[in-house]
Homo-oligomer: A and B are copies of this chain.
Amino acid sequence: MNSVVVGIDLGGTNVKTAVVARNGRMRGKDSRPSRADDGLDAVVDTMVASVEQALENAGADPSDMLAVGVGAPGPMNWRTGIVFSPPNLPGWKDVPLADIMSELLMVPAYVDNDANVACWGEFWSGAGTEVDSMVCLTLGTGVGGGIVVDGRLVRGIDGTAAEIGHLNVMRDGRQCNCGAKGCLECYASVSGMERTALEGIEAGRPTILTEMCGGDLDKIDGKMISDALQKGDEFAAWVMTETGIWLGTGIGSLINLLNPEMVVLCGGMIAAGEALFRPVRETAQAQSFDVPGARAQIVPAGLGPDSGVIGAAGCALQRFEEEN
């Protein structure tokens, strides 16, 4: 067996693990509940067990492991591998996660921001394998981001760069969890889309969503909007278009700013397909200069839900190779 690198996608709900060859191909994987509510030790136990299972599924031996990489929710210090206190990992405070994983698995371990590793996964082994510069947006509850310039992640002096969800797209706009107003994330995430739907319904626009949620508007979520869209609901189509326009606005700014070869969209929301991508592309092009606007391909993730877990392995491999 050739040497492999292991990637872990650490979320508040699930831990996903992949065993990846040096060429970026996945050899085996595992996924299990994180047990985040049981605290740090339970999560660490889960990660170790998941790595062992993924190695077995790949037909690999622990001694084949070169390194392990974890994509974790921020805030964190990616250089030291210390995770501060992510909202969805209760009880975590300044956890030296890289050191813990390195000691337990007896290989070098690296920790990176989850949106950065998803970007790196797409760059290394997904939609972006043919390009040198790209921007990646992860559309979930929030909007995460990653930026690659000249083949390297843009991390920033404190490692906090690429917070694409916190581009300001509307002065005095919606209140964001980050404290600012009008962030892209307030409009272009799944929760932003839900907010757009709620505002529309409260303004009296007709939609089958009112019926679908049984009158309880709080039950309206991304899945329900997507179902309404499938059923031909015009309002749901409008909500998706609005979301795409906001997203395209932010992407237009990124194109003017970075002139990348590619913009990759990740996350469950991209399943909406052209209903989302059409307004995104139209708006991004209208809002950017001709040359960079025509250059930047706006495409869905090539690795589907595995951008993060493969990218965690890829980031670890790159850092391991730079150190050795």
Contacts and interface: CB of A to CB of B under 8 A. Distances in A.
A171 B245 CA distance: 9
Contact of A167 (B156, B170, B257): B257
B256 A155 contact: no
B154 A258 contact: yes
Nearest to A166: B256
One complex includes copies of this chain to the number of 2
A295 B157 CA distance: 9
A100 interface: no
B149 A253 contact: no
Given A149-B149, A171-B169, A171-B246, A259 B155 contact: yes
Contacts of A320: none
A272 interface: no
Interface in A255-294: 256-261, 286-289, 291-292
A113 B77 CA distance: 35
A259 B149 contact: no
Interchain residue pairs A-B with the least CB separation, the first 6:
A156-B259, A161-B259, A163-B256, A166-B256, A167-B253, A180-B287
Contact of A160 (B156, B249, B291): B291
A164 interface: yes
A289 B160 contact: yes
Interface string A148-179: 01101011111111111011111100000011
Interface in A213-255: 245-246, 249-250, 252-254
A75 interface: yes
A17 interface: no
A61 interface: no
B292 A168 contact: no
A132 interface: yes
A147 interface: yes
Contacts of A156: 133, 258-260, 292
Contacts of A286: 179-180
15 contacts: A133-B156, A155-B259, A158-B295, A160-B289, A160-B292, A161-B259, A166-B256, A166-B289, A168-B253, A169-B171, A170-B170, A180-B286, A180-B287, A254-B257, A257-B257
A287 B183 CA distance: 9
A221 to B, nearest CB: 24
Contacts of A253: 166-168, 253
Interface in A178-192: 178-181
A289 B257 CA distance: 20
A99 to B, nearest CB: 22
Contacts of A254: 257
Contacts of A292: 156, 158, 160-161, 163
